[in-house]
Structure 1
């Protein structure tokens, strides 16, 4: 019997998560601030692309941690993900 989708994603994510864990925290926060800044301040299509990439990253982290989170944590992280994706869509498709 094969592994479930979740198990395959978790196993494939181990090297990336280990590499991210070795990055200094200040650098990780700095990269996050730069991506959010680019998403908000860059010209319309490029800002949306930056925010979509950030949303994909946040969705991946949410998927990996979903089973370990309590309901309030799940709701808050879903809200952040939806807000990021909403702003990305607005930046990609302005009036």
Structure 2
């Protein structure tokens, strides 16, 4: 019997999640802060790419935890993901 997409992604994500869990506690937030600062202060295409990386990471975490979250938690995390994607689009699309 074939596994569902969720099951396959959870199994594929397990080694990466274990490696992230093995890092010191401040490494994850520090990397996210650096990416956010790059996203804010870097020139146009690079800032948007940094925000896309942050959004991809947040989306991955949201997908993995979606079934365990209550509705308010889902909505708040989804709002943060949408905000990160919106900022990435604004930083990637040239003004004009």
TM range (shorter): over 0.9
The superposition leaves residues 46-87 of structure 1 with CA deviations (integer Å, 9 ceiling, x where unpaired) of: 000010011011101100000000000000000000000000
Higher-RCO chain (CA-CA 8 Å, sequence separation at least 6): 1
Q: Which moved more, 1:84-93 or 1:26-35?
A: 26-35
- Which structure 1 residue ranges, 5 or more long, are not aligned? none
- Give the corresponding residue for 2:32: 32
Deviation at 1:94, TM superposition (A): 3.0
Q: After the TM superposition, which parts of structure 1 deviate over 6 Å for at least 4 consecutive aligned residues?
A: none
Taking the aligned partners of 2:42 and 2:71, their CA distance within structure 1 comes to: 35
1:4 aligns with 2:13: no
- Which structure 2 residue ranges, 5 or more long, are not aligned? none
Count of matched residue pairs: 95
